[in-house]
Amino acid sequence: MRHALAEAAQAALTGDVPVGAVLLGPDGSLLATGHNEREATGDPTAHAEVLAIRRAAAALGEWRLSGCTLVVTLEPCTMCAGALVQSRIGRVVYGARDEKAGAAGSLWDVVRDRRLNHRPEVVAGVLEEACSAQLTAFFRAL
């Protein structure tokens, strides 16, 4: 999670909401990183999770990321939760809950919806205070 927090800090430098993600392979090796780049690129889909998933798939040459773990500083939104399910990621670990847009247990629970064909394990609240503090500081400075 500390690596994801460092990624999140990079997002804030370009005016993006500080969310960072790292994607680990089944063996725990670092496959890819990402941080929000919506403001930097003008791409509404440039969320940290989506960018890390794209980069990991490119690195592996495979869209299926079975057995991989995504670590992200903020609970994934519905778009990112859908990407997690579609890429077959085995586990998502997140820091801060997102009561307004979270889709891994807070507002919705897309990733564990029994109607879907894949449901990753969810681990919530890892370094939650540090993740929340980074987001709070960003929004207070606006």
pLDDT tens column, 73-103:
999 999 999 999 999 999 999 999 999 999 9
**Segments forming the whole domain that contains residue 125:** 1-135
For the annotated catalytic residues, the residue numbers are 49
Contacts of 6 (CB under 8 A, 6+ apart): 20
On whether 77 is known to bind a ligand per the annotation, the reply is: yes
In a domain, 128, yes or no: yes
Closest by Cα among 138, 100, 99 to 8:
138
Residue 102: what pLDDT? 98
On whether 131 is known to bind a ligand per the annotation, the reply is: no
Looking at the 3D structure of the chain, how many domains does it have?
1
On whether 80 is known to bind a ligand per the annotation, the reply is: yes
pTM over 0.95: yes
In a domain, 140, yes or no: no
In a domain, 119, yes or no: yes
In a domain, 67, yes or no: yes
The CATH number for 84's domain is 3.40.140.10
Q: Region 116-123: what's the mean pLDDT?
A: 96
CB burial of 118-130 (b: ≥16 within 10 Å; e: otherwise) equals eebebebebbeee
In a domain, 142, yes or no: no
In a domain, 141, yes or no: no
